[in-house]
Structure 1
Amino acid sequence: MADYEKLWLSHCFVKNEQTVFLKQALLPISSLFISIAFLATGYGMLMTYIGLYLKQAGLSEMAIGIINSAFFLGALLAAVFSQKLIVSVGHARSFSAFSAVMVIAFLGHTLHYHPWFWAGLRLLSGFAFYALLIVLESWLNEKSSSEDRGRVLAVYTVVFFLATAVGQLILGMDISSHLVFVLGSVLVLAALFLVAITRISQPQLPPFERYSLPKVLHIAPLALVGSVIGGFFVGGFYTMVPVFVLNTYGEQSVVASFMAISILGGLLAQWPVGTLSDRYGRRKLLAWAGLFSFVICLLLALFANHTWLFYLLGFLLGTSLFSIYPLSVARANDRLDHGKDLVEVSRSLLFAYGIGSFLAPLLLGVVLGLSGGLFFTVLAIAALILGVYALTAERIANEQLSVFVAVPAAS
């Protein structure tokens, strides 16, 4: 058989495989992907806007940090308590309940403005949003085969990142505050509508597994440290970086552009980072993510007033900061023996990620209130800690590496 015939047959096989994947794996759960897109658009829009609104209302950076941290406190509570409700009433009903809570929280912002009242609303929003993600992700895992799960999660990652970036671009239109909260509510209701009419059967969640951070620290210390620092970066990025950019440039459109560019950088980095980590190991890539973020954060501290350079550095920062948590999860999987304790370790890493996200706005709010110049310096120190620790961590042989699967940092 000639070479061109072999090439043509290979192309036909790949094309047929892609068609089968689209028809059998993606189309049956397409309503879930669209629901995720609606939720992520509202999430990205509101996460950025809250800090901007509070700053324009005259609140201090410390107060903004406290209010924003309430969102991630709600996320931690969802990680502990939401699964019990999902198991007891089912996915569809729990999705409806959590959607109602999220809409109430969003619209509550338009009824009354008081910092403590808004902190309570952020707590409800964080609980509801992460509970909704637990429902949708468990559905995706249940309805995808072991052969297709990696590709399904890859599509999930693309949808989540793109939708979050769209949320930033909507803010660039400089719409009114009431419209932001109403639009966020409409997006949640649109997601609820798609889930309410879906014919996808409801999965069975496994029993709740306890969290054991000391156990993870013993099994995969680098994964635990990476999860905390990854959560610190992402939590700080979505909550306090918009405030820093607003303080520097004074324009909401610049904030929206910087956030969208950084998120797209994170999306585009997932495939090459995953490929390189499969080849060279998670330790080296986590070291790269930490040290690269360290350099970029120092450059951001020095050149924050140069708009286009600021955008470029934001894109580069996105490539590394959104890779830390997926690399940490992959590192933990490399350390486990044939999936032993996988559920407990995975949930413990997610909980550690939530702790980092919760601490970020608290610490960065204080730092930003003291000095804008110290803001990215603190992030640089956190990145340096990760990079140096990764370089000193134990190496894992290539034959023991698991397959890297990209996951959105928010989920």
Structure 2
Amino acid sequence: MHAVAGPILSLLSGVALLMVGGGALGSLIGLRLAGDAAGTLTVGLVTAAFFAGLTAGSLYGYRVVLRVGHIRAFSAFASILSAATLAHALAADPALWAALRLSEGFCMAGLYMCIESWLNDTATNETRGRVLSLYMVTLYGATAAGQQLLNLDDSGTTPFLVISILLSLALVPVALTRTAPPGLPDVASFGLGRLYRASPLGVAGVFVSGVITGGVYGLAPVFGALSGFGVAETALFMTVLILGGVALQWPLGRLSDLFDRRAVLIGLSTALVVASFAMIEAAGRDRALALGVAAVFGGLSFTLYPVSLAHTVDHVGKADLVSASGGLILANSMGAVLGPLCASAAMAAVGPEGLFAFAGTAAFAATLYGLWRMRMRPPVPAEEQCIFCPVPQTTPVAAPLPVRAGKA
């Protein structure tokens, strides 16, 4: 493992600093807006702006990288992200914050592209699985740890200052790396229409995954605050939810190697319905139980994307993995923009429980669609399915990282 981690240690260090700061920022903004009585609809709009920026960055950020190179692009994206973070402290104006989140989403997508293309270039066929594992653990572990920055100060500028410092420091290990910058893989999208014709359920699955995770990422801190959680409890709630998303991906994903992936997707969606409404009950009664349900909910919702990706690859072929991933990222991002808008409307209509009522409704719709798709096409034989590998919901550049050889 040391031989694998050594060449990418500087990159992973940058990822850790980036995600500790960036992971805290979204939750902090949701809490601040809720504390200022901005309303859940406003929080939803600001959250949607971030995912709109992330979508634009996934589509166009590579042009910056191609023009100036990886290190300069990474430095520019991280500097703008750090400056935008500080700008939140100037005025708690929702319109300003939405514009800042739009730019932050674009920069974050550009940073993901720089890092993931670097990791792709460093990995070999023998080390890809371990490189991906290290990247995933660093990415989500740092995001979960960053939630604890919410405890610094619930009203002043200190959290924004600390987050900006962390984002600036993320520049250092990348700027000083001696690893040669790579080229970018072809990230041209497969095309949503063509992709949907190849795998309707795969596209639907990543879309619903975006709807649910987009809404929860932005509005779960608001859910906690409106449900009577303190700042420390909200930070712990978010940490557990994210860590659950990492812990359950491997065991649930491996099930999809053994059985019809459509049945596994239906099972995931159905379990998400149950977990969503269990969260509504637990949050108002038992904090410890709510944390346990949050871990399960995170695990189920985070697994929906990689299983849907694997199901799609079963139908489009591994040679089209990167281009298909581009289309799936676009579908996921569209869902992530829509999710906060719909979830915030549900919360405005019925209260904080509207967040998970909306998530449960979206998961139920996915279940019904999956059942219908099972009647329309025979399953891919288990021996012909690609091997499941967890992947982050970041950019198409991450697609070549999984081990692509072999069968389940």
Partner of 1:18: none
Q: 1:407 corresponds to which residue? A: 391
Q: Which residue pairs with 2:150 in the alignment?
A: 171
Give, in angstroms, the shift of residue 309 of structure 1.
Answer: 1.7
Q: Which amino acid aligns with 1:147?
A: E
Correspondence for 1:125 among 104, 107, 111: 104
In structure 2, what is the Cα distance between the partners aligned to 1:177 and 1:328?
42
- Aligned residue for 2:400? none
- The CA RMSD measured in Å over matched residues stands at 1.6
Counterpart residue identity of residue 294, structure 2? G
| Cα distance in 2, alignment partners of residues 250 and 295 from structure 1 | 22
Instruction: Confirm whether residue 50 of structure 1 aligns to residue 29 of structure 2.
Output: yes
**1:389 partnered with 2:361:** no
Give the conservation status (yes or no) of the 8 Å contact 1:219–1:335. Answer: yes
1:365 matches 2:344? yes
Q: Are 1:218 and 2:197 matched, yes or no? A: yes
- Answer whether contact 1:92 1:202 (CA < 8 A) is retained: yes
Equivalent residue runs for 1:230-241 within 5 Å? 230-241=209-220
Cα distance change on mapping 1:188 and 1:317 into 2, 3 Å: same
Whose radius of gyration is greater, 1 or 2? 1
Q: Which digits, 9 at most, give the CA deviation of each residue in 1:317-359, with x for residues without a partner?
A: 111011011111111111123x343222110101111111111
Alignment of 1:194-209 (within 5 A): 194-209=173-188
TM-superposed deviation, 1:315: 1.2
Say yes or no: does 1:245 pair with 2:229.
no
Amino acid at match of 1:40: M
Q: CA deviation at 1:74?
A: 0.5
CA change 1:101–1:278 in 2 (3 A) is: same
Residues 194 and 247 (structure 1 numbering): CA distance in 2 closer, same or farther, change over 3 Å? same
- Checking the alignment, whether the CA contact within 8 Å between 1:173 and 1:253 is kept in structure 2 is no
* 8 A Cα contact 1:172 1:257, kept in partner: no
Q: Is the 8 A contact 2:257 2:388 kept in 1?
A: yes
Q: Distance in 1 between matches of 2:288 and 2:166?
A: 32
Within a 5 Å distance, the mapping from 1:155-304 to structure 2 comes to 155-174=134-153, 176-210=155-189, 212-304=191-283
Range with bigger deviation, 210-219 or 88-97? 210-219
What residue number does 2:405 align with?
Answer: none
What secondary structure does 1:292 align onto?
helix
Match of 1:142 among 121, 125, 129: 121
1:332 partner SS: helix
Paired residues in the alignment total 389
Q: Establish whether residue 318 from structure 1 lines up as the match of residue 302 from structure 2.
A: no
Q: What is the identity, as a one-letter code, of the residue corresponding to 1:280?
A: F
Please list every run of 5 or more consecutive structure 2 residues that lacks an aligned counterpart in the other structure.
396-408
Give the secondary structure class of the aligned counterpart of 1:126: helix
Distance 1:211 1:123 in 2: 25
SS of the aligned residue for 1:323 comes to helix
- The 2-side partners of 1:274 and 1:198 are apart by 34
Task: Indicate the residue corresponding to 2:5 in structure 1.
Answer: 26
Structure 1: unaligned runs, 5 residues or longer:
1-20
- Aligned pair partner of 1:113 in 86, 92, 99: 92
Superimposed CA distance per residue, residues 127-173 of structure 1 (whole angstroms, 9 cap, x where no aligned partner): 11111011101110111012211221111111111111101122235
Q: Alpha-carbon deviation of 1:408?
A: 2.4
TM-score by length of 1: 0.91
- The CA distance in 2 between the partners of 1:335 and 1:321, in whole Å, is 23
From the superposition, tell whether residues 410 and 183 of structure 1 become closer, same or farther in structure 2 (CA, over 3 Å): farther
Q: 1:211 to 1:117 in 2, by over 3 A?
A: farther
- Alignment-derived partner of residue 378 in structure 1: 358
State the distance in 2 between where 1:114 and 1:152 align: 41
Measured in 2, the distance between the counterparts of 1:250 and 1:272 equals: 31
CA distance in 2, matches of 1:96, 1:106: 15
Picking from 76, 84, 96, the partner of 2:75 is 96
Take 1:356 and 1:43, find their aligned partners in 2: how far apart are those partners? 21
Structure 1 residue ranges (4+ consecutive) displaced by more than 6 angstroms after TM superposition? none
Whether the 8 Å contact between 1:154 and 1:407 is mirrored in structure 2 is: no
Amino acid across the alignment from 1:104: A
Per-residue CA deviations over 1:62-106 (Å, capped at 9, x if unaligned) read 111111111001001101111111111111110011111101110
Q: Distance in 1 between matches of 2:130 and 2:296?
A: 25
